[in-house]
Amino acid sequence: MDSIEYHLRHLTMVGLNPAKISLTFSLCLRFIPVLAMTTKEVMEAQKARGMHKNMIALIVPIIIRSLKMADDIADAIEARSYNP
Amino acid sequence: MTNKDLVFIALFAAITAALGILPPITLPFLPAGVPITAQSMGPMLAGSILGFRRGGLSQLLFVILVAIGLPLLSGGRGGMGVILGATGGFIISWVFAAFVIGYGVEKIYHVKSNIVFALGALLLIILGGIIVVYLMGGIWLAIWNNSGIFVTILSLSGFMASGIIKVTIATIIAVVIRRSYPMI
C-alpha cells in the first residue's frame, strides 16, 4: 500500500489523492478472496436447503452480503479516523 | 469521494474480477477469438447498482488492475498485451459502459414503480452494456484485423444470445438490489 502510494505521489499535481487510490487498490485485491469465500458459503447454504444451481439466486445474496460488508468496512475505516 | 465510496468502488472491481472465475467460451465461428465471458456483466452491475461516478471508477480500477498485469480476466488472462490486443477494445469499453449505465440509472433511481425502473434499467443496460461495448469493441477489432467496420460489427451479432441472457440477469439483479438495499 505504501509503495503504491509512493509511486503515485506525483498525481497530487493533477488533483488526485494517492493515498485514496492506493487504499482502493489494496481493498480490491483483498475483496477477491473474501468474495470467493462468500460464494462458497451461499452455495452451501442453498445446497442445505435443497436448491439447485441458479445464477440469479446465487448472485443476489452474494452482492447484498458484500454490500453490507462494505458498509461495515467503511465504518471501521471511519472509526479509526483514517482520513487520507 | 468519501471512504464509503472508495470501499464500494473496490468491491465492484472485485466482483467484476470474481465473475472471471467462470471460464470463457470461445466459439469457432465467432470472429478473432473473442470469447463469451460472464465478466461483461461487471459493468452492467456496477453501473446499475453504484451509479455514474462510483460505477465508472470501479470499472476503471478493474481495467488498471488488468493492465498492470494481474490475471483477472476470465481464463486467467491479463496484462498490457491483452488490453492492447485484438479484444482490448471490449475491455476498455466497459469503463464507458459503466459510466453510461450509471448516468442513466441515477436519473431514474427514485421513481416509485418497480416496473418503470425495471424497463428503464433494461433499456439502459442494453444501451451501455451491449451497444457501447460492441460498438467500441467492434471498431477496435476491425482496425486490428484490417477488415471493414460494418462487417465486423455485423459478425458480432453471434453474441446476441449470450447478450440477452446477461442483460436479463443484470436487470433482475439491479431491480432486486434497489428494492432490498437502496444505494444512491
Which pLDDT band, with edges at 50, 70 and 90, does B105 fall under? very high
pLDDT tens-digit series, residues B117-131:
999 999 999 999 899
- B77 φ/ψ angles, rounded to the nearest 5 degrees: -90, 165
Contacts of A11 (CB under 8 A, 6+ apart): A17, A18, A21
Shortest Cα–Cα distance, A84 to chain B (Å):
9
Helix (H) or strand (E) holding A66: helix A55-79
Which residues, listed in sequence order, are joined to residue B25 by a DSSP beta bridge?
Answer: B36
Alpha carbon distance B60, B42 (integer Å): 12
- A35 to chain B, any CB pair closer than 8 A? The answer is yes
Interchain contact A18–B (C-beta under 8 A): no
Minimum distance, in Å, between the CA of residue B151 and any CA atom of chain A: 33
User: Chain B: residue nearest A75 by CA?
Assistant: B4
Cell numbers given for A55: 445464477
Q: Which residue of B has its CA nearest to A29?
A: B14
Query: pTM for the full model?
Result: 0.90
Separation CA B62–CA B112 (nearest Å):
32
Chain B, residues 91-110, CB within 8 A of chain A, namely none
pLDDT in tens, B2-57: 888 999 999 999 999 988 887 787 776 666 667 888 888 999 999 999 989 999 99
Q: Does B173 sit within 8 Å of A60, measured CB to CB?
A: yes
